[in-house]
């Protein structure tokens, strides 16, 4: 990165020197740095409602039922997304089971492995994309900036589609960028041979197939928007033909069609009506599941979800504007702007929707830095410096205040690690003031590693009040009365299904009393706000019960404090013990 790294000293200078030596070493460094970034907390973080346990439970049911075509959550068809992520999760769990991991199907971290792999591949894809027009060092830094973003770190730890989807998008655009740049180079030297390496073409059509199986048409939509922008301003898509041989679409169809045909036959067309007619169109027509927001929402949350990339991108905006007709800048803007505008206009707003655009932003930052055109003078750089430091301070205050308000123990170790993270982030701000963009990025990466350790590894296990499903599952497991039948009244988070069993029932008050009157071992949970109706139904049925345990905590989805009483009966005899409240 010309003009930005020659004064870099210490470990950051060594890191850049090693990355410069060879592609193999750069890739190995990215893999190691990515694992250090994404691994903390992946096994200790509880299943995060609501999407993650829905995906994991559906994958779990595939293994329980042996049906790897249909997608179900308990008895409900789950036809909002294609099958790709479920197959990847199943493969991860089966591999873990083969390796001897105990109760592999119940280990949420195994379901998260595809997301971790997707995040690592996103780093490598950003690096490969950058090599089309950047030096090795600048491409390496673009990957580091992408990997350091809060949003990618979150998605790397959740058993969902978004990290894998982002990886497929980055690799597809990496191939497109190389084809685009080779076409431009060949034009300059008057060469007519525009052939792309076979490996690049195979990669393009392979990741397109995977992306279609993971999240449907998102990648084709992004590609179409970017191609439209490039064509409108350059009137030339000849470069795209170099990666579209006749066998490419055939390969993709051969990989994708079998499952789509199978699910159409099995569901009678219900999958397509649910995924397109209900899921996709409902997001366009209104705010789905109360996840709404006005236009500009993504721009506002960008400064939090894209930290520490966001301040650097803001400093790069003047360069982007002045060079908006530059071929590479134009291509990257085609990747970012049309899809971002569409997302701002769609009523449904979820932060992870813009994640596939962050690698393109990191590439633009490193392009501006390599050309020495990131201004570090004036009030803009002061705001950027504050933007680097402030989130860590806010996190410190939020973790301290939140734990006190929830009534949890103070996460002392997490707070100490966060205090330690202030040192590299302050050094990053100082490096930015000197114009050392690469050093800024590496120091911000170091800060983000410490933040990850603090939040996911040291902080999350201490905040017991928000681990409601985890503690409920333990409470429902305690009564020793043989083969259990489980039911819940008033609390229906998917994480409880994953942590207990697939046949967990969610019942109203009268049905819950009937459930408890049936023979066998019956374990039931009733929330405080449903206790009045439950007690009325219990008294009407002449059922004598006292809770064996009371679990108290805070449901982060509903944003409310929660109290759940656990009742147990065996062959019409109540199992009684002094109900001690399970507090954080």
pTM tops 0.85, yes or no: yes
Residues of the chain with pLDDT under 50: 3-6, 285-286
* 436's tokens: 């050392």
Q: 359: closest CA among 161, 172, 154?
A: 172
CB atoms within 10 A of CB 130: 27
Distance between CA atoms of residues 324 and 317, nearest Å: 10
Q: Say if strands 521-527 and 560-570 run parallel, antiparallel, or are unpaired.
A: antiparallel
Q: Residues 6 or more apart from 159 whose CB is under 8 A from it? A: 47, 52, 53, 55, 56, 59, 89, 108, 111, 112, 114, 115
pLDDT value of residue 13:
87
The three-point CA angle 47-53-55 to 5° equals 140
pLDDT value of residue 294:
87
pLDDT value of residue 291:
61
Distance between CA atoms of residues 327 and 214, nearest Å: 31
Number of helical (H) and strand (E) elements in the chain, helices listed first:
25, 9
DSSP string, 477-488: H-S--SSEEEEE
The model's pLDDT over 566-575, given as tens digits with 9 standing for 90+, comes to 999 987 777 7
pLDDT value of residue 345:
93
pLDDT value of residue 273:
73
Q: 53: closest CA among 450, 331, 467?
A: 467
β-bridge mates for residue 525, sequence order? 488, 566
The burial of 404, by beta-carbon neighbours within 10 Å (0-12 exposed, 13-18 middle, 19 or more buried), is given as exposed
Question: Hey, where are the domains in the chain?
Answer: 10-370, 465-582
Q: Please check whether residue 451 is in contact with residue 395, taking contact to mean a CB–CB distance below 8 angstroms.
A: yes
Place of tokens 């002449």: 542
Q: How far is CA 468 from CA 45, 131, 309, 401, 583, in A?
A: 13, 46, 34, 20, 10
- CA dihedral sign, ordered 193, 194, 198, 199: positive
| Total length of the chain | 584
Distance between CA atoms of residues 135 and 113, nearest Å: 31
């Amino acid at each position: 990165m010309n003009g930005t790294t020659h004064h870099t000293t210490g470990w950051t200078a060594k890191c850049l020197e090693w990355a410069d030596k060879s592609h193999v070493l750069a890739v190995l460094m990215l893999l190691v740095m990515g694992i250090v970034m994404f691994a903390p907390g992946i096994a200790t973080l509880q299943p995060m409602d609501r999407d993650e346990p829905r995906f994991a439970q559906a994958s779990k049911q595939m293994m329980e039922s042996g049906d790897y075509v249909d997608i179900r959550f308990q008895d409900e068809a789950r036809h909002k997304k294609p099958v790709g992520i479920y197959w990847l999760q199943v493969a991860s769990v089966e591999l873990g089971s083969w390796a001897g991991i105990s109760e592999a199907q119940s280990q949420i971290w195994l379901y998260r492995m595809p997301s971790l792999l997707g995040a690592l591949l996103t780093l490598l894809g950003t690096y490969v994309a950058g090599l089309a027009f950047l030096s090795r060092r600048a491409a390496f830094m673009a990957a580091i900036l992408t990997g350091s973003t809060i949003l990618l770190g979150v998605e790397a730890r959740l058993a969902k589609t978004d990290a894998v989807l982002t990886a497929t998008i980055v690799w597809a655009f990496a191939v497109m960028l190389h084809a685009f740049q080779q076409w431009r180079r060949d034009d300059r030297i008057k060469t007519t041979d525009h052939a792309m390496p076979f490996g690049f073409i195979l990669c393009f059509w392979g990741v397109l197939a995977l992306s279609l199986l993971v999240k449907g048409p998102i990648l084709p939509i992004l590609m179409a928007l970017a191609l439209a922008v490039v064509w409108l301003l350059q009137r030339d898509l000849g470069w795209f033909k170099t990666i579209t041989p006749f066998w490419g679409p055939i390969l993709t169809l051969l990989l994708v069609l079998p499952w789509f045909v199978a699910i159409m036959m099995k569901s009678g067309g219900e999958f397509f009506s649910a995924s397109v007619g209900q899921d996709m169109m409902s997001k366009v027509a209104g705010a789905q599941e109360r996840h709404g927001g006005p236009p500009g929402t993504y721009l506002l949350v960008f400064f939090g979800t894209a930290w520490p990339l966001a301040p650097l991108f803001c400093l790069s905006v003047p360069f982007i504007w002045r060079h908006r007709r530059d071929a590479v800048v134009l291509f990257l803007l085609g990747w970012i702007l049309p899809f971002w505008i569409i997302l701002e206009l769609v009523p449904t707003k979820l932060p992870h929707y813009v994640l596939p655009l962050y690698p393109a932003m990191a590439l633009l930052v490193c392009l501006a830095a390599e050309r020495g055109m990131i201004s570090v003078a004036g009030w803009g750089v002061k705001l950027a410096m504050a933007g680097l430091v402030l989130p860590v301070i806010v996190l410190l205050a939020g973790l301290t205040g939140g734990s006190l308000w929830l009534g949890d123990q103070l996460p002392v170790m997490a707070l100490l690690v966060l205090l330690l993270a202030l040192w590299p982030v302050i050094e990053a701000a100082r490096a930015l003031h000197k114009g050392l963009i690469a050093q800024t990025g590496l120091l911000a990466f170091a800060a983000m590693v410490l933040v990850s350790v603090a939040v996911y590894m040291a902080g999350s296990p201490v905040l017991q009040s928000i681990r409601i499903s985890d503690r409920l599952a333990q409470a429902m497991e305690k009564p020793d009365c043989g083969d259990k039948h489980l039911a819940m009244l008033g609390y229906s988070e998917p994480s409880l299904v994953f942590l207990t069993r697939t046949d967990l029932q969610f019942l109203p008050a009268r049905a819950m009393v009937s459930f408890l009157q049936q023979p066998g071992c019956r374990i039931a949970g009733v929330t405080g706000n449903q206790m009045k109706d439950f007690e009325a139904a219990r008294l009407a049925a002449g059922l004598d019960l006292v809770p064996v345990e009371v679990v108290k905590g805070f449901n982060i989805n509903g944003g409310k404090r929660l109290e759940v009483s656990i009742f147990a009966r065996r062959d019409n005899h109540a199992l009684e013990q002094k109900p001690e409240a399970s507090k954080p």
